[in-house]
A and B are shown apart, each in its own frame.
Chain A
Amino acid sequence: MRALADWQKLQVNKMYKQAHYDEDFLNSFNTGNDFYLEEVEDRYPDSIKRKRLKLPDVRSVDVSRHFTRLSEMNYSVDIGMYPLGSCTMKFNPKYADYVAALPGFQNVHPLESESRIQGTLEVMYRLQQLLIKISGMDYASLQPSAGAHGEFTGILIVRKFFEVNGQLGNRDEIIIPDSAHGTNPASAAMVGFKVVEVPSNDNGLVDIEALKAAVNPRTAAFMITNPNTLGIFDDQILEIAEIIHNNGSLLYYDGANFNAILGITTPGIMGFDIVHFNLHKTFATPHGGGGPGAGPVAVKSYLREYLPVPVVVLENGKYSLYYNLKNTIGKVSSYNGSFGVILRAYAYALKNGNNLSLNARRAVMNSNYMAKKLSKSFEIPYKSLKKHEFVLSTSRTGRKALDISKFILDYGIHSPTTYFPLIVKEAMMIEPTESVTLKDMDYYIDVMEKSLEVPEDTIKSSPVNTSVGRIDEIAAARNLILKWPDSCENS
Chain B
Amino acid sequence: MAVKMTETDEILQYLNIKNDEELFADIPQKLRVSLDLGLPMDEFSLITSIEKSCSNNVSPAMNFLGNGIYDRFIPPLVDEIIGRNEFLTSYTPYQPEISQGILHSLFEYQSVISDLTQMDVTNSSMYDGFTALAEAVRMAYRINGKEEVLVPENIYRSQLSIIQNYVIGLNLKIIKYKFGKDGLIDMEDLKSKISDHTSSIIVANPNLFGLIDENAFTVSEFKKEALLITYYDPVSLGLIKSPGEYGTDIAVAEGQQLGIHMNYGGPLLGLFSFRKEYVHRSPGRLIGLSKDNSGRKAFVMTLQAREQHIRRSRAMSNICSNQALLAVASLAYLSILGSNGMKKLALITMNKSIKLKKELYNAGINTVFKGINFSDNLFYFDGQEKLIRSNISGGIKLSELSDYPGYKNSAFFSVTEKTSDESISRLAKITGE
Q: Are A79 and B86 in contact (CB under 8 A)?
A: yes
Q: Which residue of A lies closest to B387 (CB)?
A: A113
Q: Are A76 and B85 in contact (CB under 8 A)?
A: yes
Q: Which residues of A contact B88 (CB under 8 A)?
A: 76, 78, 92, 97, 286, 288-289
Q: Which residues of A contact B25 (CB under 8 A)?
A: 385
Q: Answer whether residue B38 sits at the interface, using C-beta atoms and an 8 A cutoff.
A: yes
Report the Cα distance A47→B93, complex, angstroms. 43
Task: Pick from A71, A186, A191, A461: contact of B86, CB below 8 A.
Answer: A71
State the Cβ distance, B333 to closest chain A Cβ, in Å.
10
Q: Are B238 and A53 in contact (CB under 8 A)?
A: yes
Report the Cα distance A454→B190, complex, angstroms. 68
Q: Which residue of B lies closest to A89 (CB)?
A: B91
Q: Which of A60, A66, A354, A365 has the most B CB atoms < 10 Å from its CB?
A: A365
Q: Answer whether residue B41 sits at the interface, using C-beta atoms and an 8 A cutoff.
A: yes
Q: Answer whether residue B3 sits at the interface, using C-beta atoms and an 8 A cutoff.
A: no
Q: Are A471 and B321 in contact (CB under 8 A)?
A: no
Q: Which residue of A lies closest to B79 (CB)?
A: A101
The interface stretch among B144-152, B221-229, B343-351 is B343-351
Q: Which residues of B contact A266 (CB under 8 A)?
A: 33, 35
Chain A contacts with B in 31-47, Cβ cutoff 8 A = 33, 35, 37-42, 44, 47
Q: Which residues of B contact A9 (CB under 8 A)?
A: none
Chain B contacts with A in 263-306, Cβ cutoff 8 A = 263-268, 276, 279, 285-294, 296-300, 302-303, 305
Q: Answer whether residue B59 sits at the interface, using C-beta atoms and an 8 A cutoff.
A: yes
Given A78-B85, A113-B393, A116-B58: A55 and B337 interface contact (C-beta under 8 Å): yes
The interface stretch among B60-68, B175-183, B357-365 is B60-68
Q: Answer whether residue B1 sits at the interface, using C-beta atoms and an 8 A cutoff.
A: no
Q: Which residues of B contact A238 (CB under 8 A)?
A: 28, 30-31
Given A70-B101, A292-B326, A482-B286: A44 and B372 interface contact (C-beta under 8 Å): yes
Q: Are B308 and A183 in contact (CB under 8 A)?
A: yes
Q: Answer whether residue B382 sits at the interface, using C-beta atoms and an 8 A cutoff.
A: no
Q: Answer whether residue B368 sits at the interface, using C-beta atoms and an 8 A cutoff.
A: no
Q: Answer whether residue A452 sits at the interface, using C-beta atoms and an 8 A cutoff.
A: no
Q: Are B108 and A119 in contact (CB under 8 A)?
A: no
Given A50-B239, A151-B318: A159 and B168 interface contact (C-beta under 8 Å): yes
Q: Answer whether residue B422 sits at the interface, using C-beta atoms and an 8 A cutoff.
A: no
Q: Are A149 and B335 in contact (CB under 8 A)?
A: no
Q: Are B127 and A146 in contact (CB under 8 A)?
A: yes
Q: Answer whether residue B50 sits at the interface, using C-beta atoms and an 8 A cutoff.
A: yes
Q: Which residues of A contact B90 (CB under 8 A)?
A: 74-77, 82, 287-289
Q: Are A353 and B292 in contact (CB under 8 A)?
A: no
Q: Are B318 and A190 in contact (CB under 8 A)?
A: yes
Q: Which residues of A contact B125 (CB under 8 A)?
A: 290-291
Q: Which residues of A contact B342 (CB under 8 A)?
A: 53, 55
Q: Are A333 and B127 in contact (CB under 8 A)?
A: yes
Task: Pick from A38, A71, A146: contact of B84, CB below 8 A.
Answer: A71
Q: Are B320 and A146 in contact (CB under 8 A)?
A: yes
Task: Pick from A18, A294, A352, A362: contact of B40, CB below 8 A.
Answer: A352
Task: Pick from B86, B290, B315: contact of A472, CB below 8 A.
Answer: B290
Report the Cα distance A19→B143, complex, angstroms. 43
Q: Are A369 and B15 in contact (CB under 8 A)?
A: yes
Report the Cα distance A51→B323, complex, angstroms. 30
Per-position binary interface string of chain A over residues 189-200, scored 1 when its CB falls under 8 Å from any chain B CB and 0 otherwise: 111110100000
Report the Cα distance A409→B97, complex, angstroms. 8
Task: Pick from A87, A110, A385: contact of B23, CB below 8 A.
Answer: A385
Report the Cα distance A332→B101, complex, angstroms. 31
Report the Cα distance A401→B326, complex, angstroms. 32
Q: Answer whether residue A212 sits at the interface, using C-beta atoms and an 8 A cutoff.
A: no
Q: Are A365 and B104 in contact (CB under 8 A)?
A: no
Q: Are A119 and B53 in contact (CB under 8 A)?
A: yes
Q: Which residue of B lies closest to A130 (CB)?
A: B37
Q: Are B98 and A347 in contact (CB under 8 A)?
A: no
Q: Which residue of B lies closest to A355 (CB)?
A: B40
Q: Are A334 and B68 in contact (CB under 8 A)?
A: yes
State the Cβ distance, A8 to closest chain B Cβ, in Å.
21
Task: Pick from A68, A145, A186, A473: contact of B313, CB below 8 A.
Answer: A186
Q: Are B291 and A334 in contact (CB under 8 A)?
A: no
Report the Cα distance A72→B311, complex, angstroms. 33
Per-position binary interface string of chain B over residues 10-51, scored 1 when its CB falls under 8 Å from any chain A CB and 0 otherwise: 111011000010011111101111011111110100110111
Q: Which residues of A contact B174 (CB under 8 A)?
A: none
Q: Are A470 and B108 in contact (CB under 8 A)?
A: no
Task: Pick from A112, A261, A366: contact of B27, CB below 8 A.
Answer: A261
State the Cβ distance, A112 to closest chain B Cβ, in Å.
6
Q: Which residues of A contact B10 (CB under 8 A)?
A: 438
Q: Are B297 and A339 in contact (CB under 8 A)?
A: no
Interface residue tally for chain B (C-beta within 8 Å): 185
Q: Are A57 and B264 in contact (CB under 8 A)?
A: no
Q: Answer whether residue A477 sits at the interface, using C-beta atoms and an 8 A cutoff.
A: yes
Q: Are A186 and B312 in contact (CB under 8 A)?
A: yes
The interface stretch among A214-222, A244-252, A414-422 is A414-422
Q: Are B20 and A469 in contact (CB under 8 A)?
A: no
Interface residue tally for chain A (C-beta within 8 Å): 188
State the Cβ distance, B269 to closest chain A Cβ, in Å.
9
Q: Are A289 and B99 in contact (CB under 8 A)?
A: yes
Report the Cα distance A117→B88, complex, angstroms. 27
Q: Which residue of B lies closest to A118 (CB)?
A: B56
Q: Are B300 and A471 in contact (CB under 8 A)?
A: yes
Q: Answer whether residue A141 sits at the interface, using C-beta atoms and an 8 A cutoff.
A: no
Q: Are A49 and B54 in contact (CB under 8 A)?
A: no
Q: Are A64 and B11 in contact (CB under 8 A)?
A: no
Task: Pick from B49, B309, B325: contact of A182, CB below 8 A.
Answer: B309
Q: Are B11 and A365 in contact (CB under 8 A)?
A: yes
Q: Answer whether residue B57 sits at the interface, using C-beta atoms and an 8 A cutoff.
A: yes
Q: Which residues of A contact B83 (CB under 8 A)?
A: 97
Q: Answer whether residue B237 sits at the interface, using C-beta atoms and an 8 A cutoff.
A: yes
Given A70-B101, A77-B90, A475-B290: A56 and B335 interface contact (C-beta under 8 Å): yes
Report the Cα distance A188→B65, complex, angstroms. 37
Task: Pick from A189, A334, A347: contact of B314, CB below 8 A.
Answer: A189
Chain B contacts with A in 92-130, Cβ cutoff 8 A = 92-102, 104-108, 110-112, 114-116, 118-119, 121-122, 124-125, 127-130
Q: Which residues of B contact A364 (CB under 8 A)?
A: 20, 23-24
Report the Cα distance A118→B52, complex, angstroms. 11
Q: Which residue of B lies closest to A333 (CB)?
A: B128
Given A25-B111, A188-B313, A270-B31: A106 and B263 interface contact (C-beta under 8 Å): yes
Q: Which residue of B lies closest to A295 (CB)?
A: B321
Q: Are B107 and A56 in contact (CB under 8 A)?
A: no
Q: Answer whether residue A302 sits at the interface, using C-beta atoms and an 8 A cutoff.
A: no
Q: Answer whether residue A376 sits at the interface, using C-beta atoms and an 8 A cutoff.
A: no
Q: Which residues of B contact A334 (CB under 8 A)?
A: 68, 128-131, 158, 162, 254, 265-266, 268
Q: Answer whether residue B430 sits at the interface, using C-beta atoms and an 8 A cutoff.
A: no
Task: Pick from A148, A187, A341, A350: contact of B266, CB below 8 A.
Answer: A341
Q: Answer whether residue A171 sits at the interface, using C-beta atoms and an 8 A cutoff.
A: no
Q: Which residues of A contact B110 (CB under 8 A)?
A: 482-483
Report the Cα distance A354→B57, complex, angstroms. 28
Given A75-B90, A288-B326, A385-B25: A110 and B128 interface contact (C-beta under 8 Å): no
Q: Are B393 and A95 in contact (CB under 8 A)?
A: no
State the Cβ distance, B131 to closest chain A Cβ, in Å.
7
Given A48-B214, A95-B43, A471-B300: A182 and B315 interface contact (C-beta under 8 Å): yes
State the Cβ distance, B342 to closest chain A Cβ, in Å.
6
Q: Are A365 and B26 in contact (CB under 8 A)?
A: no
Chain A contacts with B in 251-292, Cβ cutoff 8 A = 261, 263-266, 269-270, 280, 286-292
Question: 3 shortest A-B CB distances, which residue pairs?
Answer: A192-B169, A335-B265, A288-B325
- 13 extra interface residue pairs, beta carbon distance < 8 Å, beyond A27-B111, A84-B94, A191-B169: A23-B104, A49-B239, A57-B338, A71-B84, A99-B54, A111-B69, A116-B393, A148-B319, A287-B321, A350-B38, A351-B43, A473-B302, A482-B110
Q: List 21 A-B contacts (CB under 8 A).
A: A48-B214, A56-B334, A63-B336, A72-B101, A74-B87, A99-B46, A134-B35, A238-B31, A265-B31, A288-B87, A291-B322, A329-B165, A336-B265, A364-B20, A369-B11, A372-B15, A418-B94, A463-B98, A467-B98, A469-B293, A484-B107
